[in-house]
Structure 1
């Protein structure tokens, strides 16, 4: 019996026992009041608080019925070796005796089930709408019995599947991983043969990294010992893309042990780079200034480096994209910028 199937059955038995004894079912509390930042491990985690759902109350019984319905559906997926997206679960629930007012409610129940079971949703057959992005370079994997080399899978590379843990990593000749925010820069690095020149796996993030992409980065770092570097735009949103990769998100605090990559290092565009490289810029928008203030209140940005960069960015009133280095030449970022950044850190 798979671990997922065993835990789903144990959960159902636990709920039944609580109903028979008229006791509350306790599940991890995922609200902000129970999310802790661990400065030693540099990740967000769930605290010890529990949420009580009482079977004899209207609200409690409804939530438990919803959880059991999703758990039963997940059990069927696992037993049949199938999968369903979050959107499909929402539509499937239309045929259940309990329903959801919208997809946000059904998504939240799936997240409650994750936290309660101690499993990622992908492990019990539930996938997000989006896949991870792509990886290019000297990486050989086996997916569904098929061996795939990331450099021979076409110009777009190997598409990262939703359930990365089902992928077997067979071989890797790279010495590092460079994750890039935009797919435009990903294609630029592939075209300039950055994977060869920098002996790296190039991972396209497609903006804020999907869970599958973050899980792959964690596996490459943890299982293969590859250092992970994150290359983003020079703005508060790009910087936070890096921080989510490094320390996880508050929303997924119950999963950050497996998704976060605390060893990841930043090689993205800084406010200092904007000045020193005289990069083309765009004015900061109101939303950018608001985001700067939000980051200042985030304990992950208390580090002197980030304080300095946030202050300078605000003072400049400007931001710069990764592609701004094209001012010098299309290959400048591979020939000059990234090697210089890597030299500083290695």
Structure 2
């Protein structure tokens, strides 16, 4: 077992020992966690990301419901500790099914959302990430493509990969734990995080990564933690600018927000995952007007989401307030691929160079 695995296992055992000590002293066992709501997110000027505030909630065994939650936590801690000792890993989905084999039915999970949330709870109270618990999500399929050489630690040993020369058109697939990667050499000028697979393929086909020495990161929709982590590492360790290229709708703005400032769900890991210096280069409401892009009317859920974002601390800047209010005024949304209405090369020859130049990235 590696030193990192030993540390993670010790933190889990210490957490279980706290429950035992509470029992031994005659106290009702409990676990205190930050309240994971938008109203409990606060901006941390030192790190430049959004974190949980001071509001907390308590999981206590003084009720049947609370006792069940703590029982499930203890069973999960035992499973994770055994997994680390055996140097094995499992997926979040597998944990949900594995609980059905536990000898106490009260400890079994009712659905995967419940087991996922418990893993997040254990991350918060232990200070250890789920990656260090050897817990994996289902494959995200997110990739890198660009002029960088890396060294990856695998079960078969180390391998060195150039993310243009040694990969196919699909790029290098980002592993579950990007902290197992070393950056060896690069000619990267900036990172472009792209929401959709279609646009990612367009950029690679047009040679955008080669012409501009750009590292194209496919977010694959709402980005997985591994994608956000490697983006942050690339920015911090190689001092690379980051731009996020998404569709022009409220859900895509939240994709940018999760890359730049963190998400409500994982605010306890914002300093580990978020890149507050990231710029938004996605489809803006003003682009819809200026380029007369093909667009669709906003749905009621779109309108509600935009109005909600006006109250979201991650979007309370002059830029975002202006763009969101404009979008509500024109009542339209548009996709990245709508730029193809001006030609297949428009996005790589005109739109992105102009936007990135305007932002000082090029």
Equivalent residues of 2:38, 2:312 under 8 A apart: no
Q: CA deviation at 1:296?
A: 1.3
Equivalent residues of 1:27, 1:115 under 8 A apart: no
Q: Which runs of 5+ in 2 are unaligned?
A: none
Q: Which residue of 2 aligns with 1:18?
A: 22
Question: Which runs of structure 2 are paired with 1:234-249 in the superposition (5 Å)?
Answer: 234-249=248-263
| 3-state DSSP of counterpart to 1:229 | strand
Equivalent residues of 2:191, 2:216 under 8 A apart: yes
Q: Which residue of 2 aligns with 1:256?
A: 270
Does residue 101 of the first structure (1) align with residue 110 of the second (2)?
A: yes
Q: CA deviation at 1:205?
A: 0.8
After TM superposition, the score normalised by the length of structure 1 is: 0.94
Q: CA deviation at 1:301?
A: 2.1
Write the distance in 2 (CA, Å) between the matches of 1:111 and 1:172.
34
Does residue 123 of the first structure (1) align with residue 132 of the second (2)?
A: yes
| 3-state DSSP of counterpart to 1:206 | coil
Q: Which residue of 2 aligns with 1:337?
A: 351
Question: Which runs of structure 2 are paired with 1:1-346 in the superposition (5 Å)?
Answer: 1-2=3-4, 3-23=7-27, 24-32=29-37, 35-38=40-43, 40=45, 41-55=47-61, 57-96=63-102, 97=104, 98-131=107-140, 133-143=142-152, 144=154, 145-151=158-164, 152-346=166-360
Write the distance in 2 (CA, Å) between the matches of 1:165 and 1:188.
29
Deviations 1:225-269 (A, max 9, x none): 111100111122212211111111111111111111101001111
Q: CA deviation at 1:49?
A: 4.4
Q: Which runs of 5+ in 1 are unaligned?
A: none
Write the distance in 1 (CA, Å) between the matches of 2:245 and 2:58.
43
Write the distance in 2 (CA, Å) between the matches of 1:170 and 1:47.
38
Equivalent residues of 1:142, 1:170 under 8 A apart: yes
Q: CA deviation at 1:344?
A: 1.1
RMSD, aligned α-carbons: 1.8
| 3-state DSSP of counterpart to 1:8 | helix
Q: Which moved more, 1:65-74 or 1:83-92?
A: 65-74
Write the distance in 1 (CA, Å) between the matches of 2:340 and 2:267.
38
Q: CA deviation at 1:54?
A: 4.0
Q: CA deviation at 1:183?
A: 0.6
Deviations 1:30-79 (A, max 9, x none): 33287322152443212344444445653343222211211111112222
Write the distance in 1 (CA, Å) between the matches of 2:237 and 2:48.
19
Q: How many residues are aligned here?
A: 346
Equivalent residues of 1:27, 1:112 under 8 A apart: no
Equivalent residues of 1:136, 1:157 under 8 A apart: yes
Write the distance in 1 (CA, Å) between the matches of 2:338 and 2:191.
22
| 3-state DSSP of counterpart to 1:28 | strand
Deviations 1:290-340 (A, max 9, x none): 211111121222211111111211222222211122122211111111111
Write the distance in 2 (CA, Å) between the matches of 1:214 and 1:10.
29
Deviations 1:114-165 (A, max 9, x none): 1111121111111112325111011222221122222121110011112122
Q: Which moved more, 1:125-134 or 1:244-253?
A: 125-134
Q: CA deviation at 1:29?
A: 2.6
After TM superposition, the score normalised by the length of structure 2 is: 0.90
Write the distance in 2 (CA, Å) between the matches of 1:256 and 1:198.
30
Write the distance in 2 (CA, Å) between the matches of 1:61 and 1:34.
27
Equivalent residues of 1:34, 1:46 under 8 A apart: no
Equivalent residues of 2:221, 2:255 under 8 A apart: yes
| 3-state DSSP of counterpart to 2:168 | coil
Write the distance in 1 (CA, Å) between the matches of 2:330 and 2:292.
12
